[in-house]
Amino acid sequence: MLIKYSKGLYVILAVFLLTLSACSKVETPVVVSPVEKKESVEPAKMVEQSQRPAQEEVKKTVQASFEEEKENTDGEAVKSPEAAHTKQEGIKPASPEMVKEAEQLYNKGFQVYLSRKYDEAIKHFDMAIQRDPNCYMAYNGKGIALCFKGSFSDGMALIKKSLEIRQDFPYANFNMALAYKLQKDYGQALTWFDKAISYDSGNTWSYFGKACIYAEWNDRLRAVENLKKAIETDPGVKEIAKSEHDLDNIKSMPEFIELVK
């Protein structure tokens, strides 16, 4: 049975995936799903509104962040993103050709996934894993697709596997939060959103996810605080916030109205 989810959560997931879509370059966090809600805006349009830069630009951004991190370590040795990629014990690394094929298959699966064709997406993710058993993006993609289909146990196990390969990947931690949120385990969702933020202080959609949870709890001040942080990192969040039902409890607040102007 497919899980119904709100616009904002779908956007959170889609945006994050769009920014991190290369198996061999970026790490994959655990994928988590959103809370059952009424859909407020056509998901495809929301994805279009919130699209991130193209893959090459994303790679440049990742590298720039790494260089900045090196500058702030006072000479301490820092591992590059590739060096931090942990290989699975007993698994022979795939050849460069197989890694490239896995990346291409992952990208195809991701595009299908955005159309909510989860079974078809899973087939592409499985083929990516066959080419490269260390393709953590594919484990993550398959995991979140299963969560959206309602198979939380299997889906979250795959997200966990993705994190075992790359523990500090913000998106994997984000997806784990999303999975807990889909199951309405808001306490665990907050914990994982915070983990994602600890690895990426500018993680827009983790702040947005926290804002939604606090709004549902009617903790209005914390909801506004986190929404403000999300908007500071991405002003495009304003339009999404206006129609996000998870934020209904704070929409009458002067602070909310001012934030989304």
pLDDT tens-digit map of 189-218:
999 999 999 999 999 999 999 999 999 999
Are 30 and 162 spatial neighbours (Cβ–Cβ below 8 Å)?
yes
Encode 11-45: b = buried (16+ Cβ within 10 Å), e = exposed: bbbbbbbbbbbebbbbbbbbbbbbbebeebbebee
73 domain-assigned: yes
121 domain-assigned: yes
24 domain-assigned: yes
97 domain-assigned: yes
How many CA atoms, within 13 angstroms, populate the side-chain half-sphere of residue 185?
14
Q: 15-19, 173-177, 252-256 — which is least confidently predicted?
A: 15-19
Q: In total, how many domains does the chain have? A: 1
70 domain-assigned: yes
Query: Helices 96-114 and 136-148 sit at what angle, rounded to 10 degrees?
Result: 20
pLDDT tens-digit map of 150-191:
999 999 999 999 999 998 888 889 989 989 999 999 999 999
207 domain-assigned: no
Q: Any idea what DSSP says for residue 129? A: H
56 domain-assigned: yes
31 domain-assigned: yes
- CATH number for the domain spanning 188: value is 1.25.40.10
Report yes or no on whether pTM surpasses 0.85. Answer: no
Instruction: Kindly give, in sequence order, each residue whose CB lies less than 8 Å from that of residue 70, ignoring residues fewer than 6 positions away.
Output: 78
Residue span of the structural domain in which 18 resides: 7-197
Q: Who wins on pLDDT, 73 or 221? A: 221
Instruction: Please report the pLDDT score of residue 49 as a whole number.
Output: 33
